[in-house]
Structure 1
Amino acid sequence: MRRRRLLIAAALVAAASFALLTALLWRDPYRVVLADYTRQRIAAGLSRDSVVVAGHRWVYAYNDEAPANAPVLVLVHGFTGSKENWYPLAQRLRGRYRLLIPDLPGWGESQRVAGADYGFLAQSARVAAFIEQVARPRGGQVVLLGHSMGGGIAALTAARHTGAVDRIGLLDAAGVRFRDNRFGEQVLAGANPFAVVDQASLRRYIDTVFYDGRAKPLIPWPADRIYIARRKRDAAFEQAVLDRIGRGPERFLPGEAAAGIRQPALLLWCRQDAVIDASALELYAQRMPQALRVLLDGCGHMSPIEQPDAVAQAVVGLIEKGQSR
């Protein structure tokens, strides 16, 4: 009898939990995706926090399990990206350095303010403020790494806010007039090549940013439909940002500002990058002769995910040596 009562109680708890979960998902289906992001964060050994900086609530992942005065790495994601893009690299660097991995304002879990400017210049000022409020108090040098759009933001941050950044790494960075490719032509024509509205465009998006098939993410049902719905809701925002950074007057500001970067630097690209062509590496290098240059083979636009070991090695080289080669 007692066993039966326990089974009934367990069944009632399970039913209540299922009902609560169903209600939560009905109100916000994107929780399915966020739950997987939480799994990825925990697997990478990262914690989660939030802070209000520069008029926005930032959500960020972090790890402080590093020696006293270890460098603090601030990792800035790209267009349509999020902090989760950095988790494979974070797994390889945690314990050696302190890590701060924010969702940029307007993206991911961070706050988006209606009518606000999310171009290169505005975001670089916000990143500098984030560094001063969150990174500097942790002690040690600040190493700013930016990927894609985040690379353009990082370049402007290092050039215009020199006291905020001690070392700078640009990975597959936007902000220069690279060799023509299909992606660039579509952007200049007014399109958003990263737009996701259905299964076909989701597959095209993944195939564009990844070269190594082994690194391409598998998005199972129902997460795929939920992710597509989120991207459709974000379409106008994405278009507005791309209008500013991809074909507006700011599009080449990062490359122009790079001539003023004096900090030790890393320029890292993948040879098969179909988004920011690898010719961009040399264009940045002309303005940053001090930079360590690394060109990887067998990967596309998502170098931190496709080749995290090689990227980690290059980042360590930047921090420990910081010499040109």
Structure 2
Amino acid sequence: MAPRRRRLLATVLFVSGAVTLAMGVALWDEPARLIRFAYQGQRLAAGLDRASIEIDGTRWVYAYSDDAPAGAATVVMLHGFTGSKENWYPLARRLRGRYRLLVPDLPGWGESGEKSGSVHGAGVDYGYRAQAQRVARFIQALAPAGAGERVLLGHSMGGGIAAVTAAGHPGQVDRVGLLAAAGVYFEANGFGERVLAGENPFAVGDEPSLEHYLGLLFEDDGARPWLPWPVDRIYIGERRASAGFEQSVLDRIGRSDEAFLPGASAAQIDQPTLLLWCRQDAVIDASAMEIYAREMPQAQAVLLDGCGHMSLMERSDRVAAAVNELIERGRPR
């Protein structure tokens, strides 16, 4: 091998080794970076960018795509309890290019806030009403009126927040989609009974509880996220550290005087609405869809089979088709 080629190869190997070592030191210093690297890969695969904004003292971190025709609708997606913006990436990948997309971590969750027992300090409210106020301001700041319709999608807790937002801030929401939305009575199941008893059925502190958590969420094993070692240990550690935060939020949305505020708000929702559930949902029983539908005669109800609580990940093609129908229904061709 020529000396010049040997020197080039040595340089490449040295740089590669240095980068690997630097990544190893970074992960050793802050193991959660490994999960963030994985999330970044998922975001890039979905064709999304990342940004942050501060609104009224609240920091939002969100994924987004502006790759859409002029005047296209803006679709805002709100994740559920213990979830994050990453839950929406499979659906976002199917909607990108047709609509403008805004996929935030809700305040207090993911990258939009520290998760701890203090929850940004004592007295901070992350219930339905307070989060709806923040969501309305987020939409107003990033999707002002006149730039196309604003479509608000919410899953589980995020669905409850979306319902309260659509009812209380109709000027910011033109169409709404509620996916397995919390906030109404439904037929008794194990999850609901444990919430009413003061427990957090989603709590994760070890490997068996992680398996229980994923089993509650997913009916379709093929859609479950793969958590190899050491990602599983890192995730368990993060969830254990956030247990106090999770409990405080669940106390607010599951057992306070506003636990059923989304259902009470449904009668004030006049916008075109999508209600979407999976028949095998073990968290928010599918009977909740009928209760929402009674208050919203304009709603289109879609019940999917063979999936659980995470329709946006388990049946993203079907959910994308339903969202397209919601947006296009009633619009001139």
Q: How does 1:176-325 map to 2 (within 5 A)?
A: 176-321=184-329
Deviates more, 1:187-196 or 1:104-113: 104-113
SS at match of 1:240: helix
> Given the alignment, which residue of 103, 124, 136 partners 2:132?
124
Which segments of structure 1 move beyond 6 Å, counting only runs of 4 or more?
none
After superposition, what is the alpha-carbon deviation per residue over 1:153-187, rounded to whole angstroms, capped at 9, x for unaligned?
00000011110100011000000011100000011
> Given the alignment, which residue of 31, 42, 54 partners 1:40?
42
SS at match of 2:205: coil
2:165 matched to which residue of 1?
157
SS at match of 1:109: helix
Whether 1:81 aligns to 2:83 is yes
- What letter matches 1:311 in structure 2? V
1:114 matched to which residue of 2?
121
After superposition, what is the alpha-carbon deviation per residue over 1:47-97, rounded to whole angstroms, capped at 9, x for unaligned?
111111232211111111111000000000000000111111111111111
Shift of 1:267: 0.6
Unaligned residue ranges in structure 2 (runs of 5+)? 115-119
SS at match of 2:111: coil
Say whether the 8 Å CA contact 1:30–1:226 is kept in structure 2.
yes
2:7 matched to which residue of 1?
5
Say whether the 8 Å CA contact 1:100–1:135 is kept in structure 2.
no
The normalised TM-score by structure 2 is: 0.94
**In structure 2, distance between residues paired with 1:54 and 1:265:** 29
After superposition, what is the alpha-carbon deviation per residue over 1:136-159, rounded to whole angstroms, capped at 9, x for unaligned?
278100000000000000000001
**In structure 2, distance between residues paired with 1:12 and 1:67:** 46
After superposition, what is the alpha-carbon deviation per residue over 1:229-266, rounded to whole angstroms, capped at 9, x for unaligned?
11011110000000110111111001001111111111
SS at match of 2:112: coil
- What letter matches 2:45 in structure 1? A
**In structure 2, distance between residues paired with 1:231 and 1:169:** 28
- What letter matches 1:307 in structure 2? R
Shift of 1:19: 2.7
Unaligned residue ranges in structure 1 (runs of 5+)? none
Say whether the 8 Å CA contact 2:145–2:172 is kept in structure 1.
no
After superposition, what is the alpha-carbon deviation per residue over 1:19-48, rounded to whole angstroms, capped at 9, x for unaligned?
321221122111101111111111111111
- What letter matches 2:230 in structure 1? P
Say whether the 8 Å CA contact 2:218–2:224 is kept in structure 1.
yes
Number of equivalenced pairs: 323
Q: How does 1:62-81 map to 2 (within 5 A)?
A: 62-81=64-83
Q: 1:28 to 1:322 in 2, by over 3 A?
A: farther
2:117 matched to which residue of 1?
none
SS at match of 1:99: strand
SS at match of 1:136: coil
SS at match of 2:154: strand
1:58 matched to which residue of 2?
60
SS at match of 1:176: coil
**In structure 1, distance between residues paired with 2:33 and 2:219:** 29
**In structure 1, distance between residues paired with 2:17 and 2:203:** 39
**In structure 1, distance between residues paired with 2:145 and 2:267:** 29
- What letter matches 1:82 in structure 2? S
- What letter matches 1:14 in structure 2? S
- What letter matches 1:292 in structure 2? Q
SS at match of 1:132: helix
After superposition, what is the alpha-carbon deviation per residue over 1:259-279, rounded to whole angstroms, capped at 9, x for unaligned?
111111111111100000000
The normalised TM-score by structure 1 is: 0.96
Deviates more, 1:269-278 or 1:5-14: 5-14
Shift of 1:6: 2.9
Aligned sequence identity (%): 62
Deviates more, 1:135-144 or 1:215-224: 135-144
Say whether the 8 Å CA contact 1:77–1:104 is kept in structure 2.
yes
- What letter matches 2:65 in structure 1? N
- What letter matches 2:238 in structure 1? R
Say whether the 8 Å CA contact 1:72–1:97 is kept in structure 2.
yes
